[in-house]
Amino acid sequence: MNFDKEFDASGLSCPLPIVKTKKSLTDMTSGQVLKVIATDCGAVKDMQAFADQTGNTLLSNTEEGGKYIFFMQKK
């Protein structure tokens, strides 16, 4: 999937993946896509909840070799 920016949250625990995802989105424009990589399994549900509550769209959510990959499209 194409993306405009990447944020690697590997090794970070709650709430850093979410809080820093929010920060990464700040300087992006509407419609752009942020790729987030996380190793915290709690991030899977948190990232969906973040999308639901902020209006950003979680385009996909996959696991590859112990890493969770998210594509978040900015509102």
Partner 1 sequence: MTTKKMAIIATKGTLDMAYPPFILASTAAALGYEVQIFFTFYGLQLLRKDLSDVKISPLANPAMPMPIPMPVMVQMLPGMESMATMMMKNKLKDKGVASLEELREMCLEMDVKFIACQMTVDLFEFDKAEFIDNVEYGGASMFFGFAGETDICLFV
Catalytic residues: 14
Q: Is 35 in the site for partner 1 (CB under 8 A)?
A: no
Q: Would you say 63 and 5 are in contact if contact means Cβ atoms under 8 Å apart? A: no
Identify the residue among 34, 36, 40, 73 touching partner 1 (CB under 8 A): 40
DSSP state of 51: H
Q: Would you say 40 and 70 are in contact if contact means Cβ atoms under 8 Å apart? A: no
- Least separation in angstroms between residue 69's CB and partner 1 is 18
* Among 5-13, 27-35, 63-71, the segment contacting partner 1 (CB under 8 A): 5-13
Q: Is 23 in the site for partner 1 (CB under 8 A)?
A: yes
Q: Is 11 in the site for partner 1 (CB under 8 A)?
A: yes
Q: Where are the alpha helices (DSSP H) in the chain?
A: 16-26, 43-54
